[in-house]
Chains A and B, each alone.
Chain A
Amino acid sequence: AAGVIQSPRHLIKEKRETATLKCYPIPRHDTVYWYQQGPGQDPQFLISFYEKMQSDKGSIPDRFSAQQFSDYHSELNMSSLELGDSALYFCASSLGGSLNTQYFGPGTRLTVL
Protein backbone atom coordinates (compact mmCIF):
# COMPACT_ATOMS: atom_id res chain seq x y z
CA ALA A 1 0.00 0.00 0.00
CA ALA A 2 1.12 3.54 -0.74
CA GLY A 3 2.61 5.38 2.19
CA VAL A 4 3.40 8.96 3.11
CA ILE A 5 6.26 10.35 1.06
CA GLN A 6 8.63 12.98 2.36
CA SER A 7 11.34 14.80 0.51
CA PRO A 8 14.14 15.33 0.78
CA ARG A 9 15.14 12.56 3.17
CA HIS A 10 18.26 14.40 4.24
CA LEU A 11 19.03 18.10 4.14
CA ILE A 12 22.08 20.02 5.26
CA LYS A 13 21.87 23.79 5.63
CA GLU A 14 23.94 26.59 7.10
CA LYS A 15 22.72 28.88 9.86
CA ARG A 16 20.38 31.64 8.66
CA GLU A 17 19.54 29.76 5.48
CA THR A 18 16.04 28.62 4.52
CA ALA A 19 14.72 25.10 4.00
CA THR A 20 11.58 23.64 2.47
CA LEU A 21 10.34 20.21 3.41
CA LYS A 22 7.68 18.46 1.37
CA CYS A 23 5.09 15.89 2.35
CA TYR A 24 2.88 13.85 0.03
CA PRO A 25 0.08 12.16 1.97
CA ILE A 26 -1.36 8.72 1.38
CA PRO A 27 -3.71 8.91 -1.64
CA ARG A 28 -7.19 10.16 -0.65
CA HIS A 29 -5.96 11.43 2.72
CA ASP A 30 -7.00 15.04 3.26
CA THR A 31 -5.25 15.83 6.54
CA VAL A 32 -1.56 16.42 7.13
CA TYR A 33 0.37 16.80 10.38
CA TRP A 34 3.94 17.93 10.96
CA TYR A 35 6.04 16.76 13.92
CA GLN A 36 9.58 17.64 15.00
CA GLN A 37 11.85 15.22 16.84
CA GLY A 38 15.06 16.65 18.28
CA PRO A 39 18.03 14.42 19.18
CA GLY A 40 17.10 12.11 22.04
CA GLN A 41 13.62 13.60 22.29
CA ASP A 42 10.10 12.42 21.52
CA PRO A 43 8.18 13.73 18.51
CA GLN A 44 6.50 17.09 19.11
CA PHE A 45 3.51 18.33 17.15
CA LEU A 46 4.05 21.46 15.05
CA ILE A 47 1.02 22.11 12.86
CA SER A 48 -1.78 20.39 10.96
CA PHE A 49 -4.00 21.03 7.96
CA TYR A 50 -7.39 19.64 7.03
CA GLU A 51 -8.80 20.31 3.58
CA LYS A 52 -6.13 22.93 2.97
CA MET A 53 -6.98 24.92 6.08
CA GLN A 54 -4.84 25.06 9.20
CA SER A 55 -6.59 22.93 11.78
CA ASP A 56 -4.25 23.01 14.79
CA LYS A 57 -1.00 24.59 15.83
CA GLY A 58 1.59 23.50 18.34
CA SER A 59 4.93 24.96 19.41
CA ILE A 60 5.94 26.02 15.94
CA PRO A 61 8.42 28.90 15.77
CA ASP A 62 7.34 32.05 13.96
CA ARG A 63 10.23 31.42 11.56
CA PHE A 64 8.38 28.35 10.30
CA SER A 65 5.35 28.39 8.06
CA ALA A 66 3.43 25.68 6.31
CA GLN A 67 0.60 25.19 3.91
CA GLN A 68 -1.41 22.48 2.25
CA PHE A 69 -1.99 22.64 -1.47
CA SER A 70 -4.95 21.69 -3.66
CA ASP A 71 -3.50 18.22 -4.28
CA TYR A 72 -3.23 17.83 -0.47
CA HIS A 73 0.53 17.78 -0.36
CA SER A 74 2.07 20.04 2.24
CA GLU A 75 5.24 22.07 2.57
CA LEU A 76 7.00 23.22 5.72
CA ASN A 77 9.07 26.33 5.15
CA MET A 78 11.78 27.15 7.64
CA SER A 79 13.66 30.44 7.55
CA SER A 80 16.61 31.90 9.47
CA LEU A 81 17.67 28.41 10.43
CA GLU A 82 19.29 27.92 13.81
CA LEU A 83 21.48 25.12 15.10
CA GLY A 84 18.59 24.02 17.32
CA ASP A 85 16.43 23.35 14.30
CA SER A 86 18.51 20.26 13.56
CA ALA A 87 16.04 17.45 13.96
CA LEU A 88 13.95 14.82 12.29
CA TYR A 89 10.78 16.22 10.76
CA PHE A 90 7.93 13.80 10.31
CA CYS A 91 4.80 14.24 8.32
CA ALA A 92 1.71 12.17 8.99
CA SER A 93 -1.55 11.92 7.11
CA SER A 94 -5.07 10.81 7.87
CA LEU A 95 -8.47 10.70 6.23
CA GLY A 96 -11.30 12.88 7.44
CA GLY A 97 -9.50 15.22 9.80
CA SER A 98 -8.65 13.98 13.25
CA LEU A 99 -11.24 11.23 13.28
CA ASN A 100 -8.97 8.59 11.86
CA THR A 101 -5.56 7.10 12.39
CA GLN A 102 -2.46 9.07 11.49
CA TYR A 103 0.17 7.32 9.38
CA PHE A 104 3.69 8.66 9.41
CA GLY A 105 6.23 9.15 6.68
CA PRO A 106 9.91 8.22 6.95
CA GLY A 107 10.95 11.71 7.94
CA THR A 108 13.40 14.35 6.77
CA ARG A 109 16.63 14.68 8.71
CA LEU A 110 17.63 18.35 8.79
CA THR A 111 21.12 19.25 9.87
CA VAL A 112 21.97 22.91 10.41
CA LEU A 113 25.68 23.70 10.49
Chain B
Amino acid sequence: DAKTTQPPSMDCAEGRAANLPCNHSTISGNEYVYWYRQIHSQGPQYIIHGLKNNETNEMASLIITEDRKSSTLILPHATLRDTAVYYCIVFNNQGGKLIFGQGTELSVKP
Protein backbone atom coordinates (compact mmCIF):
# COMPACT_ATOMS: atom_id res chain seq x y z
CA ASP B 1 0.00 0.00 0.00
CA ALA B 2 1.05 3.56 -0.67
CA LYS B 3 2.58 5.27 2.34
CA THR B 4 1.66 8.78 1.25
CA THR B 5 -1.40 11.03 1.29
CA GLN B 6 -1.93 13.70 -1.33
CA PRO B 7 -4.89 15.93 -2.21
CA PRO B 8 -6.69 14.44 -5.20
CA SER B 9 -6.70 17.65 -7.20
CA MET B 10 -5.35 21.20 -7.27
CA ASP B 11 -5.58 24.20 -9.55
CA CYS B 12 -2.86 26.73 -10.27
CA ALA B 13 -2.77 29.87 -12.39
CA GLU B 14 -0.24 29.91 -15.19
CA GLY B 15 2.95 31.68 -14.17
CA ARG B 16 2.31 31.24 -10.48
CA ALA B 17 4.06 28.80 -8.18
CA ALA B 18 2.40 25.43 -7.70
CA ASN B 19 2.85 23.96 -4.23
CA LEU B 20 1.93 20.30 -4.00
CA PRO B 21 1.80 18.83 -0.48
CA CYS B 22 2.40 15.25 0.56
CA ASN B 23 2.05 13.56 3.93
CA HIS B 24 4.23 10.57 4.74
CA SER B 25 3.98 10.29 8.50
CA THR B 26 5.23 6.67 8.65
CA ILE B 27 8.40 7.25 6.63
CA SER B 28 11.46 5.38 7.89
CA GLY B 29 14.90 6.88 8.34
CA ASN B 30 16.34 5.21 5.24
CA GLU B 31 13.42 5.99 2.93
CA TYR B 32 13.56 8.66 0.28
CA VAL B 33 10.77 10.92 -0.97
CA TYR B 34 10.46 10.76 -4.75
CA TRP B 35 8.24 12.81 -7.01
CA TYR B 36 7.11 11.71 -10.44
CA ARG B 37 4.49 13.13 -12.74
CA GLN B 38 2.41 11.59 -15.50
CA ILE B 39 1.09 13.66 -18.34
CA HIS B 40 -1.97 12.03 -19.87
CA SER B 41 -0.99 8.35 -20.28
CA GLN B 42 2.64 9.11 -21.00
CA GLY B 43 5.34 7.32 -19.03
CA PRO B 44 5.85 8.69 -15.52
CA GLN B 45 8.50 11.39 -15.54
CA TYR B 46 11.01 11.70 -12.72
CA ILE B 47 11.03 15.14 -11.13
CA ILE B 48 13.12 15.16 -7.96
CA HIS B 49 13.90 13.23 -4.80
CA GLY B 50 15.33 13.82 -1.35
CA LEU B 51 16.15 12.18 1.94
CA LYS B 52 16.40 14.89 4.58
CA ASN B 53 17.58 18.10 3.00
CA ASN B 54 15.69 20.38 0.67
CA GLU B 55 16.54 19.81 -2.96
CA THR B 56 16.32 21.89 -6.12
CA ASN B 57 16.86 21.08 -9.77
CA GLU B 58 15.90 22.63 -13.07
CA MET B 59 12.33 21.38 -12.79
CA ALA B 60 11.31 21.91 -9.19
CA SER B 61 12.18 22.29 -5.53
CA LEU B 62 11.47 19.78 -2.80
CA ILE B 63 10.94 20.96 0.75
CA ILE B 64 11.01 18.23 3.42
CA THR B 65 9.96 19.07 6.96
CA GLU B 66 12.48 18.55 9.71
CA ASP B 67 10.57 15.56 11.12
CA ARG B 68 10.32 14.20 7.56
CA LYS B 69 6.62 13.48 7.97
CA SER B 70 5.60 15.71 5.10
CA SER B 71 7.01 17.43 2.04
CA THR B 72 6.06 19.97 -0.60
CA LEU B 73 6.94 19.95 -4.28
CA ILE B 74 7.23 23.44 -5.70
CA LEU B 75 6.98 24.25 -9.39
CA PRO B 76 8.17 27.87 -9.34
CA HIS B 77 6.45 29.14 -12.49
CA ALA B 78 3.76 26.72 -13.60
CA THR B 79 2.93 26.48 -17.30
CA LEU B 80 0.07 24.77 -19.10
CA ARG B 81 2.46 21.91 -19.89
CA ASP B 82 2.77 21.19 -16.17
CA THR B 83 -0.81 19.93 -16.10
CA ALA B 84 -0.41 16.31 -14.96
CA VAL B 85 -0.89 13.83 -12.15
CA TYR B 86 1.87 14.26 -9.58
CA TYR B 87 2.89 11.28 -7.48
CA CYS B 88 4.71 11.51 -4.18
CA ILE B 89 6.35 8.16 -3.43
CA VAL B 90 8.20 6.97 -0.36
CA PHE B 91 10.95 4.76 -1.68
CA ASN B 92 13.12 2.24 0.06
CA ASN B 93 16.11 1.72 -2.18
CA GLN B 94 16.58 -1.75 -0.76
CA GLY B 95 13.20 -2.77 -2.08
CA GLY B 96 13.32 -1.40 -5.57
CA LYS B 97 9.73 -1.06 -6.65
CA LEU B 98 7.87 2.22 -6.81
CA ILE B 99 4.45 2.11 -5.17
CA PHE B 100 2.18 4.66 -6.79
CA GLY B 101 -0.65 6.08 -4.73
CA GLN B 102 -3.54 8.20 -5.87
CA GLY B 103 -1.49 11.28 -6.76
CA THR B 104 -2.57 14.89 -7.18
CA GLU B 105 -4.11 15.97 -10.45
CA LEU B 106 -2.72 19.45 -11.05
CA SER B 107 -4.55 21.67 -13.51
CA VAL B 108 -2.70 24.77 -14.63
CA LYS B 109 -5.12 27.33 -15.98
CA PRO B 110 -4.48 30.39 -18.18
The reply to whether A48 and B96 form a contact with Cβ atoms under 8 Å apart is yes
A106 touches B97 (CB 8 A): no
Known: A104-B45, A106-B42, A107-B41. Is A42-B97 also a contact (CB below 8 A)?
Answer: no
6 A-B pairs in the complex with CB atoms less than 8 angstroms apart: A55-B96, A56-B95, A98-B97, A99-B93, A107-B41, A107-B43
Interface residues of A (CB under 8 A from B): 4, 31, 33, 35, 42-45, 48, 50, 55-56, 58, 88, 90, 92, 97-107, 109
Across the interface, do A56 and B49 meet the contact criterion of CB distance under 8 Å? no
B43 touches A90 (CB 8 A): yes
**A104 lies within 8 A of B101 (CB):** no
Assess whether B100 is in contact with A43, with CB atoms less than 8 Å apart.
yes
Q: Which chain B residue shows the least CB distance to A102?
A: B98
Contacts of B95 in A (CB 8 A): 56, 98
> Bound state CA distance, A90 and B46, in angstroms?
14
Using a CB-CB cutoff of 8 Å, which residues 50-98 of chain B contact chain A?
87, 93-98
- Judged by a CB distance under 8 angstroms, whether B99 is at the interface is yes
Q: A42-B101, A42-B103 are in contact. Are A106 and B96 (CB under 8 A)?
A: no
In whole angstroms, how far apart are the Cα atoms of A42 and B102 in the complex? Answer: 7
The closest CB in chain A to the CB of B49 belongs to A101
19 more CB-based (< 8 A) A-B contacts, given A33-B96, A92-B98, A107-B42: A33-B97, A33-B98, A42-B101, A42-B102, A43-B44, A43-B100, A45-B97, A45-B99, A88-B41, A97-B96, A98-B95, A101-B34, A101-B46, A102-B46, A102-B98, A104-B43, A106-B42, A106-B43, A109-B41
Check B94 against A98 for contact (C-beta < 8 Å): yes
Contacting residues, chain A, for B42 (C-beta < 8 A)? 106-107
What are the interface flags for B8-37 relative to A under an 8 Å C-beta threshold, 1 for contact and 0 otherwise?
000000000000000000000000001010
In the bound complex, residues from chain B placing their C-beta under 8 Å from that of A42 are 87, 100-103
